[in-house]
Chain A
């Protein structure tokens, strides 16, 4: 069965620090990859997505992610985090263009001012 692993459950950073959140998936076929963010008290919002083409994807709010097919990874990065980035981040995989998303367990990010 397909699965998504997020290795960091909790991350605490100071403002201006760099961020990298790991995401690995297990599926050998075609995948579309997503990162969603859930700010406190709000619903899920799409940060960025990868369908095809350039494996380095840029999203909103300065986030980017790199798809490395050989490693089955789609890590999220941001060079300099802000306090407002405090949220929970979910990696998700859509297999075979089915529209069905499989989510990772999420990573709670706390950015200290």
Chain B
């Protein structure tokens, strides 16, 4: 199946700093990618829909100025957590569609803010 890769897989940062997470579709082009957040022992919550060449669409309650999403090419979307705080610590997961309604998920990126 199609492969989606995230980098870094884990990151630790100080409070107040910004962190960038990359999501790449390795063997297919993805016009749309999705970013999810997963808290411990909870489900995945959709944060935003990332569209290549246009602004991301954020879900209700997600701060667009805090979670900056850029979809610069058909194979890369980035999520930047700006001025991170401990409550932003979470597992961030991206997914991409190859078409036919199926999504492929990245391995996830665990963010810990000290």
Contacts and interface: CB of A to CB of B under 8 A. Distances in A.
Interface of A: 32, 36, 42-46, 49, 51, 90, 94, 97, 99-106
A106 B97 contact: no
A99 B103 contact: yes
Contacts, number: 47
B54 interface: no
Contact of B93 (A43, A45, A102, A104): A43
Given A43-B93, A44-B93, A99 B44 contact: no
Give the dominant DSSP class at B's interface.
strand
B43 A97 contact: no
Given A43-B93, A43-B107, A44-B93, A102 B46 contact: yes
A101 B95 contact: yes
Contact of B44 (A51, A90, A94, A97): A90
Given A43-B107, A43-B108, A103-B44, A97 B95 contact: no
